Amino acid sequence: MNDSPGWAVPGPSPSDGERPGASDGRDGTEGGTPPPAGGPKWSAEQPPPGEWSSPGTPQAPKAPQQQPQPGAGWGSYGGPQGPQGGQWGKPPAAKPGVIPLRPLDLGEILDGAVATMRTHWRTVLPITLVVATVVQVISVLVQKYTYADLAVASDPGSGDSLKEAFDALGGSMVALLANGFVQLIGTIVATAMLTMIFSRAVLGHGSSIGEAWREARPQLLRLLGLTLLLALGGIVIVLVPLLPGILLGNVGIAVAGGVAALPLLIWLALKFSLASPALMLEKSSVITSLRRSSRLVQGSWWRIFGITALTGLITAFVSAIIVWPLTAVGLAIGFADSGMEGLENGTAATGWAPLILSAVGAVIAQTITMPIQSGVTVLLYVDQRIRREALDLELARAAGLENYGPDAAAPPTGG
């Protein structure tokens, strides 16, 4: 897949909506071919259609003409045709894989992500299941022992409680950082492998776990660097406006700075949201992938924001209906074991039953939602390249489709 011409870095990109060699028909051409010069000149008055006949031949009765109905008939590109021959709806497109090779709408992007997960579940679900399970097992252990240490250290009846609290807090921070690092590595590995699976699914190709790993492995360190760079940039963007309020000890100024930083943070996050698939599929460097994402998002920020936000809402809702019931059952078990005292000191939420049930819910939710989020990002990248760089032509060639392009549907011209 990494040698497929569809994912190579393009040369000078055509403007949005252009296709090389295509004509819109406004200059009297069809498929880019000019009309023959010096053709016969016709009279301005011609018999109505259906009234042509040889001299002396009796004319058959005319059948009443029917006006085309909306949605009936097909134009030269196969789309529904209106009364004046104008095309209604989208033109058909080849669909070698999970998406049609043309600019996509929201429904097609979401459907492509779900269709890939459904069609290639033997590859997709094991990856996300293993990553989610490893992350949640470590998270349960960290929460169980660090929170227990904090509860013991904060006991007012113990001696030297302040020193014990600081020691427990330091150990908890180390454990939480380690847990966060494991989650980061797991997310990066899953994202890299899922990107390769989705890129092959666009062409109608399957992919095994071993193939996805071999294709993703060379770019893992760069993807880690890209993720850390974006995280560091986000921290700086949030921290700088907070500094005046922190230094002055004024909560109001600090809150105002944080609110002011939020729009910039969202804008930059969307601007570089396509850097990950660009880095993985184009085998580019970190800086090049950031530039590519910025170029692809330019002019489509609000559209990408809407699709990304809607995807986040859908995945959050799916996660909530899976995690919350199991978490509630776990808390009920913890309350039954420790009573009101457990609710007051927090031990009801750190028992084995609530932690394990919450982790089971998180594993199920992440196994389902992680492929959807990764798939939407990859398909947004593909969609933007189709719109800006005619990537559909390259993908059709890579998929082995013959006679695909703007001239394939044009009728032959007479000589």
Per-residue pLDDT of 43-91, as tens digits, reads 455 445 444 444 444 544 444 444 444 333 333 333 444 444 444 556 6
- Residue 247 — very low, low, confident or very high, per pLDDT cuts 50/70/90? confident
Q: Name the percent of the chain lying above pLDDT 90.
A: 49
pTM: 0.75
For residue 406, the model assigns a pLDDT of 60
Per residue in 89-119, pLDDT (tens digit) is 566 788 999 999 999 999 999 999 999 999 9
Mean pLDDT of 245-274: 91
Spatial distance between the Cα atoms of 375 and 197, rounded to a whole number of angstroms: 9
Mean pLDDT of 146-166: 54
Whether 319 shows a pLDDT value over 80: the answer reads yes
Residue 36 lies in a domain: no
Which amino acid makes up residue 380? Answer: L
Spatial distance between the Cα atoms of 236 and 233, rounded to a whole number of angstroms: 5
Domain of 129 in residue numbering reads as: 106-398
Residue 126 lies in a domain: yes
The most confident of 108-117, 352-361, 399-408, by mean pLDDT: 108-117
Residue 27 lies in a domain: no
Residue 78 lies in a domain: no
- Judged by DSSP in three states, 33 sits in strand
Instruction: Calculate the alpha carbon distances from 185 to 223, 232, 278 in Å.
Output: 10, 16, 19
Q: Name the percent of the chain lying above pLDDT 70.
A: 66
Spatial distance between the Cα atoms of 132 and 127, rounded to a whole number of angstroms: 9
Residue 336 lies in a domain: yes
Reported residue count of the chain is: 415
Spatial distance between the Cα atoms of 330 and 317, rounded to a whole number of angstroms: 20
Spatial distance between the Cα atoms of 320 and 326, rounded to a whole number of angstroms: 10
Domain count, the chain: 1
Residue 75 lies in a domain: no
More confident residue, 402 or 112: 112
- Residue 127 — very low, low, confident or very high, per pLDDT cuts 50/70/90? very high
Per residue in 187-226, pLDDT (tens digit) is 999 999 999 999 999 999 999 999 999 999 999 999 999 9
Residue 411 lies in a domain: no
Residue 243 lies in a domain: yes
